Homo-oligomer: A and B are copies of this chain.
């Protein structure tokens, strides 16, 4: 029996990664006088990873990492005006209108009629709150949780807080690392809905074959019918 259905937000309900990808493409242009594009692309990714443990996730840490990489790739020759362009890209990202994925609003609305829903998203508190408000979806969620990282322990404590057993919990998201693997490890179920672009960091090496208790859907529009079927199957199983 499903007691609580939770959604990831970035790249599950609304577009996010594409903002980072587009900004990085612009930074490749800005840095083209100093560094060859493919090398730059690798270095930009490499600059972010060690900083995640210092900055956490989100646009502001991304921007600081991009500036750091720009200084390194330009051998410290980067100009003030070019650093300013990177800062302006970050500000544009922080102000970018929320663009819902096709079918997301309909799926959330439909499911909210039958189940308590939770939004659980990781990253920058200020930016996530802005996006939740702008999305127009906040009212469909009984609980909204903004966390700094999505680990097994974090899911465990969120479920404990709301008095939900993992056996009654279903998580929907696009990130194997953050939305699927920790939830499966906890003994709950998960639905993976891949986004067309996944940040390498979120892809997780260990997925391989789909684990037990996880299915993959191509599109969020397929979700309400899948969950209806799942509910019918578990009623049959319970007899």
Q: Given A71-B80, A76-B80, A76-B81, are A124 and B87 neighbors across the interface (CB < 8 Å)?
A: no
Asked if A153 is an interface residue, CB under 8 A from chain B, the answer is no
Number of copies of this chain in the oligomer? Answer: 2
Whose C-beta in chain B lies nearest to the C-beta of A71? Answer: B80
Asked if A67 is an interface residue, CB under 8 A from chain B, the answer is yes
Q: Flag if B60 contacts A126 (CB, 8 Å).
A: no
Asked if A105 is an interface residue, CB under 8 A from chain B, the answer is no
In the complex, A83 Cα to B83 Cα: how many Å? Answer: 9
Interface centre among A64, A76, A81, A146 (most CB of B within 10 A): A64
Interface size on A, residues (CB 8 A): 37
In the complex, A74 Cα to B84 Cα: how many Å? Answer: 12
Instruction: Name the one of B61, B68, B91, B147 contacting A60, with C-beta atoms under 8 angstroms.
Output: B61
Whose C-beta in chain B lies nearest to the C-beta of A60? Answer: B60
User: How distant is A94 from chain B, measured CB to nearest CB, in Å?
Assistant: 5
Asked if A95 is an interface residue, CB under 8 A from chain B, the answer is yes
User: How distant is A203 from chain B, measured CB to nearest CB, in Å?
Assistant: 22
Asked if A162 is an interface residue, CB under 8 A from chain B, the answer is no
Contact indicator per residue, chain A 33-63, by CB within 8 Å of chain B (1) or not (0): 0000000000000000001001111101101
Q: Flag if A60 contacts B67 (CB, 8 Å).
A: no
Q: Given A126-B55, A148-B125, are A81 and B87 neighbors across the interface (CB < 8 Å)?
A: no
Asked if A239 is an interface residue, CB under 8 A from chain B, the answer is no
Asked if A183 is an interface residue, CB under 8 A from chain B, the answer is no
Asked if A77 is an interface residue, CB under 8 A from chain B, the answer is yes
Q: Given A55-B94, A94-B55, are A84 and B76 neighbors across the interface (CB < 8 Å)?
A: yes
Q: Given A71-B84, A76-B84, A80-B76, are A56 and B91 neighbors across the interface (CB < 8 Å)?
A: no
Q: Flag if A126 contacts B95 (CB, 8 Å).
A: no
Interface centre among A63, A80, A84, A87 (most CB of B within 10 A): A80
User: How distant is A231 from chain B, measured CB to nearest CB, in Å?
Assistant: 29
Q: Flag if A127 contacts B56 (CB, 8 Å).
A: yes
Contact indicator per residue, chain A 66-89, by CB within 8 Å of chain B (1) or not (0): 011011001111111101100100
What is A's interface to B at a CB cutoff of 8 Å?
A: 51, 54-58, 60-61, 63-64, 67-68, 70-71, 74-81, 83-84, 87, 90-91, 94-95, 124-127, 129, 146-148
